[in-house]
Amino acid sequence: MSNSNGNGTGGSGAFVGGGEASWEITGEGVRRKVLGHGPDLMMVLVEFRAGAVGAVHNHPHRQVTYVAAGRFDVEVGGAHRVLGAGDCFFAAAHVPHGVRALEAGALVDVFTPARADFLKAPSTRKGEGE
């Protein structure tokens, strides 16, 4: 059985070009775009300006985050560590976690299951160049 996305998953297509996904402004100096996803897995690119904050929060999804660029003060379950490009962190379900960008940078978040709340129509979308 197949669907219109070409991979039979009910999520994104089998291939997602970076320019195909829309940016969503999620906070002061923070924007994200959902990349590949299916019901059980989702990848999201999140860009931060220097000093921007991803507030401490928790959710029922498990999350692993790869630092693609920049340096971040990361909190997971009350513990802090400064992470740089090439590092990652894992947050189990319901474990509070957040970041502060020490310099401009980008994170790649992977969630399981997928964050259905990220797929709802956002209130603010900006173009690729903004």
The full set of domain ranges for the chain reads 23-120
- In Å, how far from its chain's centre is CA 103? 18
SS3 track for the chain = CCCCCCCCCCCCCCCCCCCCCCEEEEECCEEEEEEEEECCEEEEEEEECCCCEEEEECCCCEEEEEEEECEEEEEECCEEEEEECCCEEEECCCCCEEEEECCCEEEEEEEECCCHHHCCCCCCEECCCC
Question: For 87-97, how does the pLDDT look when each residue is reduced to its tens digit (9 = 90+)?
Answer: 999 999 999 99
Which residue stretches of the chain have pLDDT < 50? 1-4, 124-130
Question: If you search the block for the tokens 């189990």, which residue do you land on?
Answer: 92
Q: Does domain 23-120 match CATH 3.20.20.10?
A: no
Whether this prediction's pTM lies above 0.75 is answered by yes
Question: For 21-42, how does the pLDDT look when each residue is reduced to its tens digit (9 = 90+)?
Answer: 899 999 999 999 999 999 999 9
